[in-house]
Structure 1
Amino acid sequence: MATSKSMFWKPDDTDLFTAERESQIEDQTTSLVFNANRSLNLVAQRKRLPIARYKTEILYCLENFQTLVIVGECGSGKSTQIPQFLYEHGWHSKGLIGITQPRRISAITLATRVSEEMGDVIGSGSVGVAVRFLSKCSGNTKIKYMTEGILLREILANPLLSQYSIIMIDEAHERSVLTDCVLGLLKKIAKKRSSFKIIISSATLDADLFSDFFNFKTKQSPKDTSMILTVEGRMYENPIFYLQEPCADYVRETVNTVIKIHSKEAPGDILAFLTGQEEVYQAINMLRDHMELLGLDETQLKVLPMHGSLTHHDQLRVFFHTPRSTRKVIIATNIAETSVTIPGIAYVVDCGFIKLKWYVAEHQMDMLIIVPASQACCRQRAGRAGRTKSGKVFRLFTEEHYNQLPIVKPPEMRRTDLSMTILSLKALGIDNILRFNFPSPPPAKNMLASIELLHAYGALDGEGQLNSPDGYMMAEMPLNPALSKMLLASCDLGCSDEILSIVAMMQVQQFFSRPNSGQGAINARRARRNFEVAEGDLITMLNVYNAFVSNGCTKEFCGQYHIMYRHLKRVVEIRNQLASIIVKQFKLKLVSCGTEIIKIQKAITAGLFPFAAYLHHSGSYRMVRGDCEVSIHPTSCLYTEKQPSWIVFAEVLHTTKLFVKDITVIDSRWLLELAPHYFDKSTARN
């Protein structure tokens, strides 16, 4: 690693009160003094944030322009302070102040922070939050944090968003499908409602693109309707270090770097970025092995995961203060990349890679591929340090490699399946999807492939209009069309109770623990065999869920069978929410098929039939549509078994070759029975 540079450390005056100090408060009087001091400390922090110097300019621009594009560096305070500026200036009297975030954890933590600064209780006071499967809002809510998916559903219910006076799209540089879809719809709303205001903000953003997109200037109305404002950023020093030579294994190098930081650097928590959940747990297991060899325990080095499949409570654990003698190490996916300020982070370790979805129109499927991160992504990661104290950033690649990285990653709209987007726009009454005004129009072949897939699912008719009722129900379900179709088909086949459990399990990426040590790995594999069946991974998931519930949802059961308790608890929460939607909103019945596994397999086939593959005489699998060669992933329960002739799968991972995951064994005749419009006898091969 590069030689350390000298630097000046600034005192950590933004984190004066730790959990350890709070625990020493013994009586109510001291507690009141503590809370008063804490409030004063929050006020002082707000005044020191760079964004505070731009309050007047922000309010002036909103009075004179319909759209304000704010480019603010990490740590400027834009995500927490701008909504409060608007509230203090009276914008809440004209309607709700809405702020969108690309991820649920960002929305929750920012709402919690703002409610704390305003002296409110989140949900019952002026600040509320709404994310998928969780809503804390009331009649008193004036500032509402939410994910972009929630805003899209609110547009479905109220196309002009008449309840909102202003919408702020935060972290717009992520350019997710939902971001671009929402921006296209907000442009339509802005043309209809001249009093409606839009703020677009990010630390790294192509400001001109969005300013031009929302500028409605014409010959008849020559006045600009959008404005760009740049805000200075970080409050603390944040030097960056590179490797002198490339590393062969970035997961192992991440672990080694964390150990070096702990042994050589000053106190401060560590945030390490990896590409996915499996790598996160691989690194955590390796770290714990190192800790055991070095004689370290959790009172010295506390290791925590952070990824999208964690329960709400487990995601929030990374924000809890630790004793002064304990260094916190957070191993995270890119969920921690934006809008999340984790207290105490002084060191960031960046692996330099990211996992992206990439849509292949010819095969009508998304592939997960691991690619080098963009420069914008690396800057965002670096911005997680130096927020509340001085820090350092360690990049596990050379400086020359960084200079060769793309400036930004391609917008998700141009590289992903658009089925859900098309369903949502169709439900809004937008008929000509190909001419819808997106900030970055998707490739026409991707759009046409998604329309064809929706027609195959029965969501769209021959004219491209939503079918009733299936099309409308699929548009309103918080699931992708394949899983929505699977649920609807299960209601007809009489196995909706089992399919609901499978769909909930599919929302969690991993539920079996995988110890690194030899004997631990053997024991975990033996435990897993108790649930595995010849019908495939999805039925195995159902067995795990049923066993967990029948054993009282206890930690003891999970420990015995090497199952991640927190993930199964999350599955239970998701299943309950989905059940409420199915029964209360759609008036469908949950019916169990008992031991009739074929009904479950047929329902799965009804949703995943476009992703069918057959065993080729060469020993590999070929997709029926497109004749693409795929292989069973090593984590599948079918990997070491006798290979079935026909399968369907739910996920593709592209590493050394195309691997398929979440597999179910099927009978080829079901494809002709359930999707005769999609297959014919000349296509199905025996």
Structure 2
Amino acid sequence: MVDEAHERTLSTDILFGLVKDIARFRPDLKLLISSATLDAEKFSDYFDSAPIFKIPGRRYPVEVHYTKAPEADYIDAAIVTILQIHVTQPPGDILVFLTGQEEIETVDEILKHKTRGLGTKIPELNICPIYANLPTELQAKIFETTPEGSRKVVLATNIAETSLTIDGIKYVIDPGFCKIKSYNPRTGMESLLINPISKASANQRAGRSGRTGPGKCFRLYTSYNYMHDLEDNTVPEIQRTNLANVVLTLKSLGIHDLVNFDFMDPPPSEALLKALEQLFALSALNSRGELTKTGRRMAEFPLDPMLSKMIVASEKYKCSDEVMSIASMLSIGNSIFYRPKDKQVHADNARLNFHTGNVGDHIALLNVYNSWRETDFSTQWCYENYIQVRSMKRARDIRDQLEGLMERVEIEVCSNASDLDAIKKAITSGFFHHSARLQKNGSYRTVKNPQTVFIHPSSGLAQLLPRWVIYHELVLTTKEYMRQVTELKPEWLVEIAPHYYQLKDVDDAGSKKLPKGQGRAAL
């Protein structure tokens, strides 16, 4: 049984292709696909005209209201709508959909300021934010019962569309936007940009107000926008993501003809090609597109292929213990440090403590993990250092899983904590094609497929600007940023990836005349 099929994640799309193939040879295999807002006809056609069962749920009616004209500022409109509902509508809690932490904190702050100004003229408004980077105990507040005579307003990201059910919600405010991650195979850059939601998402959001009784949904866009401007469904993840992991997984399952693999929505051919190129560069595939011994070992790890290659390479540099910790910290994303609005300076200082000696962001993540391990995985230590306990526990679980897989791929777990160069070389083995060189104006230029990029302000090297760096990922937010950056010696690129770099690529002649104080010599 596959549930929440409408979310069309990478894993479910691959699973659909595999089970469809298997079901043709296995008449005994029964497959159930379920979802609340599914494009059922499309799924039925894909699975050879499979029958559709519609099971009516216990849904209450939802009254949908649109704006008469488009809103110039949906944040402002959301705040006005919250206060209007609070003052004019019968009791019932409010759920507001926003695009991310920054917006949620802004709305939280403005609402507190406005309600404080009104004092006892209006009933109490309890504001409860929820987003991924919020500590667990603060997230739990959204489930607490609303005190008599007051109203709760939950400020949430699209996590509240399907993953959460909050009792007492009678009113939904939907500005009609969300953040969507998309990958550009040409530049290798991921962007997290604010986009209009789909009709399916809009319907899912409205339904949140009709769970426990009749509800109202206030859409901060016009009915014309809904009918004519919103796509029916969100673009499936497989059409907007890096496919290297998909290709490696399918190859390891013995599926070699990727072009004719029966995807429900085929990924762009350019993205497939880029994935094959990347796996070839990482020595996971040979020139005929077959898995190599390295590729087979990499496929055992449930990680991005670059992280898997870094672990496989750590065997050579005798630092697999450290590299496993770094890989597990990198694979939980950017939700390690918590930066509360009222304690930003303290949080930043705590974070910079792990960067002592300008070791680079990868080693800083290792320092975080090791320090936590030394305190016997203390929760109190996490609070004191503004670190997310939940993220650290996830990193520990991933690390335990990786350690279990090391035996299977016959890599000895050994430590080499004092040799930072060895650890950096292992990292470079997985990320050598993510290298960049400092320019005279303080920006960086990627070495292959040249483009201008910058060190992310959260990096420990943001003020230092080393001459050569490797980075974990490129993200486009307000600028093209490199995230998780470490300094390297340019000659390592030729030593580690002679098939990818030549001496002329890393010749430093072009960067000799740097401004004073910039581009400190590589360690």
Judge same fold: TM > 0.5, yes or no.
yes
Residues 130 and 142, structure 2, Cα contact 8 Å, conserved in 1: no
Give me the identity figure in percent. 41
Contact 2:71 2:221 in 1 (8 A): yes
Could you tell me which residue of structure 2 aligns to residue 654 of structure 1? 476
Partner of residue 192, structure 1: 25
Q: Is the 8 A contact 2:128 2:142 kept in 1?
A: no
Matching residue's letter, 1:525: D
* CA distance, structure 2, for counterparts of residue 603 and residue 627 of structure 1: 24
Q: CA deviation at 1:283?
A: 5.5
Question: Which secondary structure does the structure 2 equivalent of 1:465 belong to?
Answer: coil
Q: Distance in 1 between matches of 2:387 and 2:373?
A: 13
Shift of 1:192: 0.1
Alignment partners' CA distance in 1, 2:392 and 2:345: 22
Is the contact made by 1:301 and 1:327 (CA closer than 8 Å) also made in structure 2?
A: yes
User: Partner residue of 1:91?
Assistant: none
User: Are residue 623 (structure 1) and residue 431 (structure 2) matched?
Assistant: no
**Residues 559 and 425 of structure 1: is their aligned pair in 2 closer, same or farther, counting only changes over 3 Å?**
closer
Report what 1:438 is aligned to: 263
Which residue of 166, 170, 174 corresponds with 1:342? Answer: 166
In the other structure, the counterpart of 1:386 is 210
Partner of 2:513: none
**Aligned partner of 2:244 among 403, 412, 419:** 419
Does the C-alpha gap of structure 1 residues 272 and 642 become closer, same or farther in structure 2, counting only changes over 3 Å? same
1:207-258 per-position Cα deviation (integer Å, ceiling 9, x unaligned)? 333222222xxxxxxxxx5223445556212223344565566556656655
1:301 lines up with 2:129 in the alignment: no
Tell me, in whole angstroms, the C-alpha distance in 2 between the residues paired with 1:580 and 1:255.
Answer: 50
C-alpha contact 1:244 1:398 (8 A) present in aligned 2: yes
Cα 1:334–1:266 change in 2 (3 A) is: same
| CA distance in 2: counterparts of 1:522 and 1:532, whole angstroms | 16
Alignment partner of 1:677 is 2:506: no
Does the C-alpha gap of structure 1 residues 269 and 502 become closer, same or farther in structure 2, counting only changes over 3 Å?
A: farther
Q: 1:386 is matched by which residue type in structure 2? A: G
Which residue pairs with 1:275 in the alignment? 99
Structure 2 equivalent of residue 59 of structure 1 = none
- Asked if 2 retains the 8 angstrom alpha-carbon contact of 1:363 and 1:625, the reply is no
Distance 1:555 1:413, change over 3 A: closer
Matched, 1:501 2:325: yes
In structure 2, the partner of 1:206 is: 39
| More divergent stretch after superposition (315-324 vs 352-361) | 315-324
> What aligned pairs does 1:67-78 form with structure 2 within 5 A after superposition?
none
- Within a 5 Å distance, the mapping from 1:579-590 to structure 2 comes to 579-583=403-407, 585-590=408-413
Match of 1:542 among 336, 342, 366: 366
Looking at structure 1, the residues matched to 235 and 119 of structure 2 have their Cα atoms a distance apart, in angstroms, of 45
Give the AA of the match of 1:190. Answer: A
- Paired amino acid for 1:497: D
Moved more, 248-257 or 336-345: 248-257
Q: Is this contact kept in 2: 1:310–1:570, CA < 8 A?
A: no
Aligned partners of 2:128 and 2:141 also within 8 Å = no
Could you say what secondary structure the match of 1:358 adopts? strand
1:574 aligns with 2:398: yes
Q: What root-mean-square deviation, in Å, do the aligned CA atoms of Structure 1 and Structure 2 show?
A: 3.2
Contact between 2:455 and 2:461, CA under 8 Å: does it hold in 1? yes
The change in CA–CA distance for 1:433 and 1:239 in structure 2 (over 3 A counts) is same
- Structure 1 pair 320–623 and aligned structure 2 pair: CA distance change class (3 A): same
Q: 1:282·1:516 contact (CA, 8 Å) conserved in 2?
A: no
What TM-score does the superposition give when structure 2 sets the normalisation length? Answer: 0.84
Whether the 8 Å contact between 1:171 and 1:339 is mirrored in structure 2 is no
How many residue pairs match? The answer is: 501
State how far apart, in whole Å, the 2-side matches of 1:550 and 1:290 are.
Answer: 45
What does 1:632-647 align with in structure 2 at a 5 Å threshold? 632-639=455-462, 641-647=463-469
CA deviation map 1:362-400 (0-9, x unaligned): 234443333221222222222222112222223344444
Alpha-carbon distance in 2 for matches of 1:646, 1:252: 44
Q: CA deviation at 1:189?
A: 0.9
**8 Å Cα contact 1:535-1:664 kept in structure 2:** yes
1:408: which partner in 2? Answer: 233
Distance in 2, matches of 1:345 and 1:272, equals 10
1:302–1:500 Cα change, 3 Å: farther
Q: Secondary structure at the match of 1:651?
A: strand
Ranges in structure 1 where 5+ consecutive residues have no aligned partner: 1-98, 100-168, 216-224
* 1:304-315 → structure 2 map (5 Å cutoff): 304-307=129-132
The one-character-per-residue Cα deviations of 1:400-446 (angstroms, maximum 9, x if unpaired) are 43341222222222221111111121121112111111111222221
The whole-number CA distance in structure 2 between the counterparts of 1:173 and 1:540 is 39
Aligned partner of 1:450 in structure 2 is 275
Q: CA deviation at 1:453?
A: 0.7
Cα pair distance change 1:285/1:495, threshold 3 Å: farther
Contact 2:190 2:476 in 1 (8 A): no
2:429 to 597, 606, 615: 606
Query: Structure 1 length as normaliser, TM-score?
Result: 0.66
User: Cα distance 1:683–1:628, how it changes in 2: closer, same or farther (>3 A)?
Assistant: same
1:18-57 equivalence runs, <5 A: none
Alpha-carbon distance between aligned partners in 2 of 1:250 and 1:362, rounded to the nearest angstrom: 33
For 1:238-257, what aligned pairs fall within 5 Å after superposition?
238-243=62-67, 250=74, 254=78, 257=81
**What is the deviation of 1:454?**
1.0
Q: Separation in 2 of the partners of 1:256 and 1:491? A: 59
Note if contact 1:310-1:567 (Cα within 8 Å) is conserved in structure 2. no
Q: Deviations over 1:118-172 (max 9, x none)?
A: xxxxxxxxxxxxxxxxxxxxxxxxxxxxxxxxxxxxxxxxxxxxxxxxxxx3332
